[in-house]
Amino acid sequence: MEIYTDFPERLQPQKVLYAGKGWLPLTILRRREHHDGLLLAFEGYSTPEQVGRFRNQTLFAAKADAPALPEGEYYQSDLLGMRVNEENGKPLGKLTEILETGANDVYVVTNEAGNELLLPAIAEVILGVDLEKRTMNVHLIPGLVEGETGNEK
């Protein structure tokens, strides 16, 4: 399997992964590194034909099994859909997409009119995240922020 997680060490025997849209539970029996990925054996599946049905499917881990992150770091799934406000409280829209670039992530904020604002995910721009309130406060720096919020004069 190709690895997309930042925490491949958690893919160990006895851990449960979920396959496809139906979230079919699969318990890892054995694991072996193979080139840039892993070869996994699952309980109850002993032949290549049996596991072949999972080819080209994404395997998911339960959110409850996700390791805790250091202070100030968040899982993308926790951020998507958050309301984004300027530091003065003025609403900018919702975080609709996260673009992974080489230097830093870029947050795509979409307002009610459908206009997009691109915010670099850097400390000078992202002032605070409140997971409970599902809000993010940002500082707009001219030249670093791209797009239109629909609020320009």
Question: Which CATH number is 80's domain given?
Answer: 2.30.30.240
How many domains does the chain contain in total?
Answer: 2
pTM score, whole prediction: 0.70
Residues in CB range of 63: below 8 A, 6 or more apart = 77
Task: Tell me, yes or no, whether 94 lies in a domain.
Answer: yes
Instruction: Establish if 56 belongs to a structural domain.
Output: yes
Residue 148, pLDDT score: 57
31 & 81 share domain = no
Instruction: For residues 143 and 83, state if they share a domain.
Output: yes
Domain shared by 59 and 83, yes or no: no
The rounded distance, in Å, linking the Cα atoms of 61 and 54 is: 15
The answer to whether residues 20 and 39 belong to one domain is yes
Adjacent-strand bridge partners of 106? 99, 120
Q: Is 71 a domain residue?
A: no
Same domain, 82 and 137: yes
Q: What is the pLDDT of residue 118?
A: 95
φ, ψ (nearest 5 deg) of residue 145: -105, 130
Answer whether residue 18 is part of any domain.
Answer: yes
pLDDT tens per residue across span 62-85: 888 888 888 888 989 899 999 999
Q: What is the mean pLDDT of residues 81-94?
A: 97
* pLDDT number for residue 5: 83
Q: What is the pLDDT of residue 62?
A: 86
- 7-49 pLDDT tens trace: 888 899 999 999 988 889 999 999 999 988 899 999 999 998 9
My answer on whether 138 and 103 are in the same domain is yes
In a domain, 2, yes or no: no
Tokens (6 digits) for 46? 């002993």
Specify the long-range contacts of residues 32-39, CB closer than 8 Å, at least 24 apart: 36/2, 36/3, 37/1, 37/2, 37/3, 38/1, 38/3, 38/8, 38/11, 39/1
First to last CA, the chain: 51
User: Range of 15's domain?
Assistant: 8-65
Is residue 104 one of the residues assigned to a domain?
Answer: yes
Answer yes or no: is 152 within a domain.
Answer: no
The per-residue pLDDT for 22 is: 85
Alpha carbon distance 47, 93 (integer Å): 50
Residue 153 lies in a domain: no
